[in-house]
């Protein structure tokens, strides 16, 4: 599948798109939020000042700053507590120790932070520190369930299940993640996937089952 995706969406070089703290906080903001709103929320959050200023700000001020992100009232205290814990950790706001920690320990350290799930932790570890983990977002999850790479399970469980099937090769994992994202946004969409123009349809279980009428993902899950 990776080669077909590369043929369509291109080769991707593994490089950090933003610094680790930006990646971490932005990914918390991105939960259930569009990319444009996530970016707007992050921008306004940073207008409050540096990380210490954001920790010190009243919670409702932080919630207002990130209002473009969904669930700002619950994300604000989580972000402030996450920042507090990072500030108090040995490296402070420098997360580079994650480059050296065993992957299992790095995942645990990150997921122990409030508001940080395995997807957020995996994105930081793969994108910023080039560690062999595979972030499973909604697009990656939906496509792999439809294609039949993995059986029905939670997104959380899919991180481990997919990683067990893939080589522990960060550039490979990065390209596959990014190209699946493109495929999920452009072709294998949540509702009405464009199976007629999908170049992996011959190996897709959902296509075999439903032909060109693959139902929306939520409908499929109810069956
Ligand atoms: S054939 Fe349809 S359901 Fe299968 S991966 Fe392609 S777009 Fe998605």
The 10s digit of each residue's pLDDT in 130-165 is 999 999 999 999 999 999 999 999 988 999 999 999
In the numeric block, which tokens belong to residue 22? 């930006």
Residues contacting residue 58 through CB under 8 Å, at least 6 positions apart:
none
Long-range contacts of 187-192 (CB under 8 A, 24+ apart): 188/139, 188/142, 188/143, 188/146, 190/138, 190/142, 190/216, 190/217, 190/218, 191/216, 191/217, 192/216
Q: How confident is the model at residue 222 (pLDDT cuts 50, 70, 90)?
A: very low
Which residue among 184, 188, 192, 199 is best mutated to probe the pocket of ligand 1, counting the most ligand atoms within 8 A of its Cβ?
188
Give me Rg for the CA atoms of the chain: 19
C-alpha–C-alpha distance, residues 147 and 76, integer Å: 37
Q: Is 184 near ligand 1, meaning CB less than 6 Å away?
A: no
The 10s digit of each residue's pLDDT in 64-123 is 999 999 999 999 999 999 999 999 998 899 999 999 999 999 999 999 999 899 999 999
Relative orientation angle of helices 138-147 and 155-165, to the nearest 10 degrees: 60
Which residue among 206, 211, 218 is best mutated to probe the pocket of ligand 1, counting the most ligand atoms within 8 A of its Cβ?
206
C-alpha–C-alpha distance, residues 92 and 114, integer Å: 17
Q: What is the pLDDT of residue 20?
A: 94
In this prediction the pTM is 0.89
What integer is the mean pLDDT of 200-208?
Answer: 94
Going along the chain from its start, the domains and CATH numbers come out as 2-6+135-210 (1.10.1670.10), 20-129 (1.10.340.30)
Q: What is the pLDDT of residue 91?
A: 86
Q: What is the pLDDT of residue 142?
A: 96
Contact 31, 138 (CB under 8 A): no
Q: How confident is the model at residue 223 (pLDDT cuts 50, 70, 90)?
A: very low
Q: Is 180 near ligand 1, meaning CB less than 6 Å away?
A: no
User: From the CA of 2, how far away is ligand 1's center (Å)?
Assistant: 15
User: From the CA of 62, how far away is ligand 1's center (Å)?
Assistant: 40
Closest residue by CA, ligand 1 atom 8: 188
C-alpha–C-alpha distance, residues 202 and 212, integer Å: 12
The 10s digit of each residue's pLDDT in 13-33 is 998 888 999 999 999 999 888
Please identify, by atom number, the ligand 1 atom nearest to the C-alpha of residue 193.
Answer: 7
């Amino acid at each position: 599948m990776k080669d077909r995706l590369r043929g369509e969406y291109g080769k991707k070089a593994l490089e950090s798109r933003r610094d680790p703290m930006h990646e971490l906080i932005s990914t918390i903001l991105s939960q259930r939020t569009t990319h444009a709103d996530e970016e707007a929320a992050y921008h306004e959050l940073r207008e409050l000042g540096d990380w210490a200023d954001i920790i010190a700000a009243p919670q409702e001020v932080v919630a207002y700053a990130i209002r473009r992100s969904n669930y700002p009232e619950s994300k604000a205290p989580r972000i402030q507590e996450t920042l507090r814990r990072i500030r108090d950790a040995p490296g402070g706001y420098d997360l580079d120790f994650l480059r050296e920690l065993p992957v299992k320990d790095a995942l645990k350290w990150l997921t122990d932070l409030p508001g940080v799930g395995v997807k957020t932790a995996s994105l930081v570890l793969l994108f910023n520190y080039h560690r062999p983990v595979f972030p499973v977002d909604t697009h990656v999850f939906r496509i792999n369930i439809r294609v039949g790479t993995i059986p029905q399970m939670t997104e959380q469980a899919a991180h481990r299940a997919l990683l067990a099937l893939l080589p522990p090769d960060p550039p490979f994992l990065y390209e596959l993640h990014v190209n699946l994202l493109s495929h999920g946004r452009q072709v294998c969409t949540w509702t009405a996937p464009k199976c007629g123009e999908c170049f992996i349809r011959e190996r897709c279980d959902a296509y075999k089952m439903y032909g060109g009428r693959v139902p929306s993902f939520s409908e499929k899950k109810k069956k």
